[in-house]
Structure 1
Amino acid sequence: MKVRLLVLLFMLSLGSFAQSNKPNAAYKLVSGGDWVKAKNYYLLTLLQHDKAAQSLLKSDAELSKLSQARLNAVQASLKECKDALCLPAQLKLSDADISLVSQRLKALYKPGNALDVLVKSHLIPSGMYIMHQTQSPANLLVKAWEQDANYVNYTISVYAEGKKPNYPQIDSISFDVKKRAYYILMYDCSTEVSEGLKADALFYEPSLHAALTYLEINERRNAADYEPMATTANKTAVDRVKLIKWASYPYSHILVPGAGPEELITPLSGEGMLRCRAAARQYFAGKAPFVVVSGGAVHPFKTKFNEAAEMKKYMVEVLHLPENAVIIEPHARHTTTNIRNDARLVFRYGMPFEKPGLIVTDKYQNDFIVNMEKRCLNELKYVPYKLGKRLSDTALEFYPVITSLQIDADEPMDP
């Protein structure tokens, strides 16, 4: 009897571990009010808010030495750099810096200490590094650090050094890096970093502060648009989720990908209107209790209009859908991320994740989605959906995939 009890307790402990090793829909992201930072560089954000983890890192002699060297490099660049691109280059983390921190994190990580708690209480349940969650907790921590550090450098390279982003026509730098005035701007940014940091700043903070500064001066803080959506723009719909009798509907929701206009003065394209009308017909036919309209401020370059916000306005004011039935997803910049971001909302808002959704758009975009797996693998390294039946030219079933929670930090406006 005693042996059976021990076996039962062991099996229960395994189940508890397995459960804790998965993303948790009830987990609330720690943002500290800066959603650009949190959504792009979540580990670095957590370290800034976790005093116990900070203390552990600051007490390490090698990391303290690196922290001082990074601060010295910023201050020295203001005296020594004579061209614009020299200044942001000095704010990037070197491969040697990143490798040293990886080694120290692995050495400092101990079961039960502050880093262990951070991994198990935040990194794992957040799902933000889900593609590394088969790793040991210590290795997951290292992978998260290396991802954040490399993508801080990526942000600096695009939005300060002027290197091409993945989609240059919509996401490029806003300045001519060859003009004399650009040196003055970069000098002022480095001054902001130097003066904006505390004397005991951690080794990564100059680089992180720089990356966020460059995004801001380029007007590229799109990742923060409408956040926190669950308690603001989407609150009425989120509150209604828990009241839905899901068995009454064949689909959890209807997803409508946006279509950007060609002119800066046009808020919603004709194609966007037609997609909304097709989705409204499905909604009023009782196919799903919610419509998710998806699309960021994308087309044309530097537009001030947000596709999702404009589609919701059209659906509520013109097509007369209830306000609490329309959810905005205002960050996606591509068809791949229309579906990925939608999967994130389904999970975090507590909709049944195993229930299919229905993509409603024009024939040609649905044709594209049916053949989009290769592009997803190239750009995201995974496919954020599993397709179901093609019901018509405009309607396509799909199932969300949990890997969609992974940060995509080489797209800092929609990570």
Structure 2
Amino acid sequence: MYYSKRFFILLLTAFAGLAAATDTLAQSQTIASGQAATSGNFPKKLLLHKTFNFLEVIDESAVVRKEVKQNAVLRSLAQQYAGRAERALSSCQDATCYASALKWSDQEIASVTKELNSLYIKNKRFKKAVTKALQAESYHLKYKGEIDSTTIRKAWEDTALGLNHILDVYVGGTGARYPAIDSISFNTTDPEFLALLQQELQQNIHAQEALFYKLPLQAALGALELNGRDEAARYEPLQDGYNRKPYEASKRTVWNKYAYSMILVLGHGPEDPATALDEGGAHYCEVAAKMYKEGVAPFIVVSGGNVHPYKTPFNEAEEMKKYLVTNLGVPDEAVFIEPHARHTTTNLRNISRMIYSFNMPDQKPVLTLTNSDHSQHTLTISDRCMRELGYLPFRDMKKISDETNAFFPVPEALRVNPYEPLDP
């Protein structure tokens, strides 16, 4: 009866202070340690980089930014958008009205696409600068091909859809893919929320530049800030904090000694707001620890964000690492955390991303570990990945046992998901 023993261990851990764990796991930075941002400390730059990196590329290239700013059609779109925002301030009586006013229309998205493609084809300075910038950001991997006008179209459309989705969910209160965990924090008719929206919008209108994306970007990031939704930025950069020691160890690893690169423990989020670590998650940590000590893989990676229940302060990956290191004796340098995934689709995607970001071998499979039902779901998850991500974030998934599967990473996993701002 391992559950009764584990329950006793978990109780002792909780009363001892789960956040402290051990000195080896102590964190020094707010975002790197996974704490929610406080007032005045919202990580907009990090969220820009992770969620709207295409706009960051424009911002940071002087040539690209200048050409975009000088384009007459794009300047006109910026003015039209600002005028629509001004009218919303004087006429909107609820948040859904603001969301409708601030979203890009299909026609506007198409107009931006046309102008960016025209700049790419006809303007040699723009083409050279934007190609160099996108290559540096590995857009040829994200969109499976060389940098060209199609890459720019896809990157812009993903960006526009992402901006619109944030406004739908975190201003208008509609469209959350999983409302139980990802929905708005306010009633859309709440006078306090409306006042905050108005204040944010007024500040942004007065500070706007003649860049077509600035005001909608500020509106979307402001909506995330008002809702306290900084999950995507927590624990960044991933190679620091909890992952610093395993990341350094990975550089010295002799990979051909192992059958798998990692043992991936999928998250098991508790529904009780007072529970830090689900018993199922603890059990599979124990199984993973045994497999690690048997030499199945050089690393364990625990995956899961701040997911269940709604706005939980506990991070699944963080709590599983604490349990592995402090209770099960697995070395700190052998356990990675992947602290952002909110679903099985992104468990798999984010591990693929880590392998490429951390320069691990992509020709060695990852072993997944979870209960038999979840394992079977993982084995048949391709259709859901296509619906929710638009691509498969892995290749050659196959069953190893009732509780384990194996897959190989793919570089397309680096592509941002515009409908998942809490884990893009």
TM-score band, normalised by the shorter chain? 0.7 to 0.9
The one-letter amino acid paired with 1:380 is L
- Per the alignment, residue 10 of structure 1 pairs with none
Q: Does the C-alpha gap of structure 1 residues 111 and 137 become closer, same or farther in structure 2, counting only changes over 3 Å?
A: farther
1-structure distance, mates of 2:44, 2:215: 19
Aligned mate of 1:355, from 364, 384, 400 = 364
- Per the alignment, residue 54 of structure 2 pairs with 43
Farther-moved stretch of structure 1 (98-107 vs 326-335):
98-107
SS in 2 for 1:292: strand
Give 1:167-182 correspondences, 5 Å limit: 167-182=178-193
TM-superposition CA deviations, 1:101-156 (whole Å, max 9, x none): 11111111148845434543343453457464447612211221122112201110
1-structure distance, mates of 2:251, 2:238: 17
Aligned mate of 1:335, from 340, 344, 355 = 344
Query: Identical aligned pairs, as a percentage?
Result: 37
Question: Once the 2 structures are TM-superposed, how far is the Cα of residue 33 of structure 1 from its aligned partner?
Answer: 7.1
1-structure distance, mates of 2:140, 2:231: 21
Question: Once the 2 structures are TM-superposed, how far is the Cα of residue 204 of structure 1 from its aligned partner?
Answer: 1.0
Does the 8 Å contact 2:139/2:147 carry over to 1? no
Does the 8 Å contact 1:129/1:407 carry over to 2? no
2-structure distance, mates of 1:128, 1:234: 25
- Per the alignment, residue 77 of structure 1 pairs with 88
Aligned length: 382
2-structure distance, mates of 1:389, 1:103: 42
Give 1:159-170 correspondences, 5 Å limit: 159-170=170-181
Question: Once the 2 structures are TM-superposed, how far is the Cα of residue 86 of structure 1 from its aligned partner?
Answer: 2.3
2-structure distance, mates of 1:184, 1:351: 48
Does the 8 Å contact 1:357/1:397 carry over to 2? yes
Is the counterpart of residue 89 in structure 1 residue 100 in structure 2?
yes
1-structure distance, mates of 2:396, 2:109: 39
SS in 1 for 2:337: strand
Q: Does the C-alpha gap of structure 1 residues 137 and 105 become closer, same or farther in structure 2, counting only changes over 3 Å?
A: same
Aligned mate of 1:218, from 216, 227, 234 = 227
Question: Once the 2 structures are TM-superposed, how far is the Cα of residue 341 of structure 1 from its aligned partner?
Answer: 0.5
- Per the alignment, residue 319 of structure 1 pairs with 328
Aligned mate of 1:264, from 273, 283, 292 = 273
The one-letter amino acid paired with 1:286 is G
- Per the alignment, residue 198 of structure 2 pairs with 187
- Per the alignment, residue 150 of structure 1 pairs with 161
2-structure distance, mates of 1:407, 1:264: 30
Is the counterpart of residue 245 in structure 1 residue 254 in structure 2?
yes
TM-superposition CA deviations, 1:360-404 (whole Å, max 9, x none): 222221122122222222222222223455333223222122221
Farther-moved stretch of structure 1 (206-215 vs 358-367):
358-367
SS in 1 for 2:347: helix
2-structure distance, mates of 1:311, 1:129: 35
- Per the alignment, residue 67 of structure 2 pairs with 56
Farther-moved stretch of structure 1 (178-187 vs 57-66):
178-187
Q: Give the TM-score of the pair, scaled to structure 1.
A: 0.86
Q: Can you give the 5+ residue segments of structure 1 that lack an aligned partner in the other structure?
A: 1-31
Q: Does the C-alpha gap of structure 1 residues 319 and 201 become closer, same or farther in structure 2, counting only changes over 3 Å?
A: farther
1-structure distance, mates of 2:98, 2:175: 18
2-structure distance, mates of 1:352, 1:82: 54
- Per the alignment, residue 394 of structure 1 pairs with 403
SS in 1 for 2:356: helix
Q: Does the C-alpha gap of structure 1 residues 393 and 274 become closer, same or farther in structure 2, counting only changes over 3 Å?
A: same
Taking only aligned residues, the RMSD between alpha carbons, in angstroms, comes to 2.1
TM-superposition CA deviations, 1:230-285 (whole Å, max 9, x none): 13331221122121111111111111111111111111111110111111111000
TM-superposition CA deviations, 1:200-253 (whole Å, max 9, x none): 341111111111111111111111010111133312211221211111111111
Is the counterpart of residue 234 in structure 1 residue 243 in structure 2?
yes
Does the 8 Å contact 1:124/1:133 carry over to 2? no
Aligned mate of 1:283, from 288, 292, 304 = 292
Farther-moved stretch of structure 1 (337-346 vs 99-108):
99-108
The one-letter amino acid paired with 2:273 is L
The one-letter amino acid paired with 1:314 is Y
Q: Does the C-alpha gap of structure 1 residues 87 and 378 become closer, same or farther in structure 2, counting only changes over 3 Å?
A: closer
Does the 8 Å contact 1:87/1:190 carry over to 2? no
2-structure distance, mates of 1:77, 1:46: 30
Q: Can you give the 5+ residue segments of structure 2 that lack an aligned partner in the other structure?
A: 1-42
1-structure distance, mates of 2:251, 2:339: 23
- Per the alignment, residue 108 of structure 1 pairs with 119
Does the 8 Å contact 1:87/1:187 carry over to 2? no
The one-letter amino acid paired with 2:189 is K
Does the 8 Å contact 1:84/1:184 carry over to 2? no
SS in 1 for 2:187: coil
The one-letter amino acid paired with 1:183 is L
Does the 8 Å contact 1:84/1:187 carry over to 2? no
SS in 2 for 1:338: helix
Farther-moved stretch of structure 1 (377-386 vs 53-62):
377-386
Farther-moved stretch of structure 1 (319-328 vs 375-384):
375-384
